[in-house]
Amino acid sequence: MADFKPTIGILGHSFIHRLSTDITRNVFPRGFNLKQCATVQQGSGGFQVCRPGARREHTQWVKCNFSRVFGDFLLRHTPSVVILQLGENDLDSNSEPLVVASMIDEIVSLLQETYNVKIVMICELFPRKSPSSPPARYEANRRQLNSLLTTLFEVREGVTFWRHRRIFNAETDIFTADGVHLNVFGQQRFYRSLRHAIMTSVRLIDDS
Question: Residue 182 belongs to a domain with what CATH number?
Answer: 3.40.50.1110
Total domain count for the chain?
1
32, part of any domain: yes
183, part of any domain: yes
Distance CA 201, CA 30 (A): 18
Tens digits of residue pLDDT in 23-74: 999 999 999 999 999 999 999 999 999 987 777 778 899 999 999 999 999 9
171, part of any domain: yes
2, part of any domain: no
1, part of any domain: no
Strand partners of residue 75: none
CA distances from 39 to 33, 36, 199 (A): 10, 10, 11
Tens digits of residue pLDDT in 123-136: 999 999 999 999 99
Distance CA 50, CA 102 (A): 10
42, part of any domain: yes
* Residue-range definition of the domain harbouring residue 142: 7-207
Share of the chain above pLDDT 70, in %: 98
149, part of any domain: yes
